[in-house]
Amino acid sequence: MPKGYMGKILMVNLSDGTMEEQPIPDSVYEKFLSGSGLGGFILYNNIPPDADPLGPDNLLGFVSGLLTGTGSLFTGRWMVVGKSPLTGGYGEANCGGNFSPAIKRCGYDGIFFKGISEKPVYLYIKNGKAELKDAEYLWGKDAIETEETLIAELSKTRKPKVACIGPAGEKLSCISGISNDLGRMAARSGLGAVMGSKKLKAVVLDSAQKIEPANRYEIKALSQKCNKWVQFQPWFLSGNGLRILAALLRFLPVQTAMDGMLWKFMLRKWGTIALNQYSVELGDSPIKNWAGSNLDFTKEKSNAINPDTILESEISKYHCYSCPLGCGGICKGKFPNGETHKPEYESILALSGLCLTDKMDSVFQMNDRLNRAGMDTISAGGTIAFAIECYERGILTREDTGGLELTWGNTDAMQALLEKMIDRDGIGDILADGVKKASERIGNNSDQYAIHAGGQELPMHDSRFDPGFAVHYAVEATPGRHTIGSQMYYEMFRLWKKDKSLPRPWLMYLKRSKYQVTEKKAIEAAACSKFMNVLNGAGGCAFGAQIGVDRVPVFEWINAATGWNKTPEEYMAIGKRLQTLKQAFNVKHGIDPKSTKPSSRALGQPAMTEGANKHRTVNIDRMMADYWRQFNWNKDTGRPPEEVIDVN
């Protein structure tokens, strides 16, 4: 009976060039789903605890989602998994575009690589036949050139889909990612370096196997209903209006629960750049390496990142596979290299507010350069901000930087530094692996300016603004990511509408109550983690899910695709199993769960004395302990006891 997933993976041994199809029993999908759930299951059971992330024993998996290709909406994301060279633990990143269905159309739910090739190769699967091909001539090319070259060479009746690394991954930068769709990035966890260490330049997929859900008609009916919510759109939104709204909200002692439909309106009109000034005003965007505030990045400066201004250079919008919303865009005119992806909110703020520059031409250029090099914009921006602060404080000298005057807002120096990081040249070699490793190399107490969680640079959502981000930065097996949960995400997911055991948030509440540590907040944080495991198993987009699970029917789609008849509570229990599996992976690989706490500055320790986040401190130790208790892990150590780990 068709069930939405393909029932097997391909295991490629790059050391000897052999390949093996491995069937996956239905029981594994029922317990771990597909996507990052299947990926986590394979990683846990196959990577030895002492494996070097850049050595032959590490596995790198490209996995598609359980729902991808079934007719459901917002479900075209693919995930890359492996032991992370950045954190030393479970590594995971995901990306949209059109690569995810291509994995399943080759007949696999995932393609995994082990070993190390002697020379650069790429995997090519054409009509179900897989082979490793020479990639020596591609080595050194940037990610966009690589994809364009492969498509030009291999397109016949169809264009193949390509995931590849750029020079940053080749040079084993621990903040490098994997690109698809011409510069879109599965950026986090440094998995581009794992691909580089295996001498695997690209994965090229070109097959047309059918993906058959159990109940196509049911999926279609659910998708039509969902699409009505997506298409509803007011016309009166403006970028300045958002900024003014945020400035007003900042002064109120209360706030209302966030409804994801408002976020959907913003995404549909602008994409994630809708948040640019809004988040600066509210205190959601960290400024000046997390030491500044909206008072440093004033309206005059932040006007440069006004979403309406950026939209003037957008020449087309694009959608990921199966997405009715379409938050992506192509821009031109803001930089000299021609057309480029509209930078995301994360990239813009990491390269502007965090480094105190308002030169948008430079931000566009750096974003494009990072996409081509295959380097994570969040981590690169965080690392440049760290280097600037070290320079301003005299920890790095002009001699150290190779003559660069690394002062706040000096975009020429930022761009030159970025080139050095991509080339691993001089100071760039020290910085190319992110802030934690850089601060260990630089010494001189520079670690206090290295803002990260467990080695991964923090994203552009300030944990002092929403302490829910702090919890997830700290407790996730892949720490320092903003894509799992926060207090606001819980409000938007609307999980209580489906899982009746979950608490409904207050419609309006005092802002200061966000900083109180309560059992209810721990339940909500745990629910976000569980749900995101389900969503990442399904290949779902978090932006879609943030419209609310009563409007975007993730659980119902999975039942219709697989023929299962599970309740939302049962899916949340699968999410709990997956979260425990990933935590157990970290413990097995020597990660102390307490060590992934975000840097003190990001927690308001000490509290800021001015700006939108003044006097705000996050009580992270209690929040972590309360969260761990929700999973029946040891509340003092964060370690899951043997009896709660279910890995078979």
- Per CB under 6 A, the list member of 96, 292, 329, 479 interacting with ligand SF4 is 96
In the set 9, 125, 205, 325, which binds ligand SF4 (CB under 6 A)? 325
Q: Quote the CA–CA distance of 66 and 45 in Å, as a whole number.
A: 20
The helices-and-strands tally (H runs, E runs) of the chain is 25, 19
Judged by CB, which is closer to ligand SF4: 141, or 161?
Answer: 161
Q: Which of 174, 327, 554, 578 binds ligand SF4 (CB under 6 A)?
A: 327
From the list 29, 41, 74, 557, which residue makes contact with ligand SF4 (rule: CB under 6 A)?
A: 74
Q: How many other C-beta atoms can be found within 10 angstroms of the C-beta atom of residue 156?
A: 8
Q: Which is nearer to ligand SF4, 227 or 605 (CB)?
A: 227
Judged by CB, which is closer to ligand SF4: 541, or 623?
541
Residue closer to ligand SF4, measured from CB, 103 or 327: 327
On the question of a cis peptide bond just before residue 606, with omega within 30 degrees of 0, the verdict is yes
What does the alpha-carbon distance between residue 557 and residue 580 come to, in Å, rounded to a whole number? 24
What minimum distance in Å lies between the beta carbon of 541 and ligand SF4?
A: 3
Provide the minimum distance between the beta carbon of 76 and ligand SF4 in the complex, in angstroms, as a whole number. Answer: 6
Q: At closest approach, how far in Å is the CB of 94 from ligand SF4? A: 10
Q: Which is nearer to ligand SF4, 104 or 420 (CB)?
A: 104
Sole window of 171-179, 189-197, 235-243, 326-334 interacting with ligand SF4 (rule: CB under 6 A): 326-334
Rounded to the nearest 5 degrees, what angle is found at the Cα of 480, between the Cα atoms of 275 and 600?
95
In the complex, minimum distance from the CB of residue 598 to ligand SF4, in angstroms, rounded to a whole number: 25
3-state secondary structure 461-524: CCCCCCHHHHHHHHHCCCCCCCCCCCHHHHHHHCHHHCCCCCCCCCCEEEHHHHHCCCHHHHHH
Residue 323 near ligand SF4 by CB under 6 A: yes
The β-bridge relationship of strands 8-13 and 110-114 is: parallel
Euclidean distance between CA atoms 119 and 535, whole angstroms:
37
The interface with ligand SF4 within residues 293-322 (CB under 6 A) comprises 319-320
Q: Which is nearer to ligand SF4, 37 or 328 (CB)?
A: 328
Shorter beta-carbon distance to ligand SF4: residue 287 or 327 = 327
CB of 96 to ligand SF4, least distance (A): 4
* Those residues with Cβ within 8 angstroms of residue 164's Cβ, 6 or more apart along the chain or in another chain: 122, 138, 143, 146, 147, 150, 178, 179, 180, 201, 202, 203, 374
List binders of ligand SF4 among 526-545 (CB under 6 A). Answer: 541, 543-544
Contact of 384 with 403, CB cutoff 8 Å: no
Q: Are 530 and 476 in contact (CB under 8 A)?
A: no
**Which distant-in-sequence residues (6+ apart) come within 8 Å of 406 by Cβ?**
387, 388, 390, 391, 392, 396, 413, 414, 417
Query: What is the pairing mode between strands 121-126 and 200-206?
Result: parallel
Residue with smaller CB distance to ligand SF4, 320 or 431: 320
Nearer to ligand SF4, 255 or 367 (CB): 367
C-beta of 47 vs 327, nearer to ligand SF4: 327
The nearest distance, CB 68 to ligand SF4, in angstroms, is: 11
Among 2, 326, 426, 503, binds ligand SF4 (CB under 6 A): 326
8 Å CB contact between 180 and 95: yes
Q: How far is the CB of 260 from ligand SF4 (least distance, A)?
A: 12
Binding mask 337-366 for ligand SF4 (x = CB under 6 A): ------------------------------
Judged by CB under 6 A, the chain residues 479 through 508 that form the site for ligand SF4 are none
- End-to-end Cα spacing for the chain: 24
CB of 475 to ligand SF4, least distance (A): 25
Question: Which runs of E-coded beta strand occur in 142-242?
Answer: 161-164, 178-180, 184-186, 200-206
CB of 109 to ligand SF4, least distance (A): 19
CA distances from 209 to 104, 214, 382, 534 (A): 7, 16, 42, 25
Beta carbon of residue 262, minimum distance to ligand SF4 (angstroms, whole number): 15
- Contact residues: ligand SF4, CB under 6 A: 74, 96, 319-320, 323, 325-328, 541, 543-544
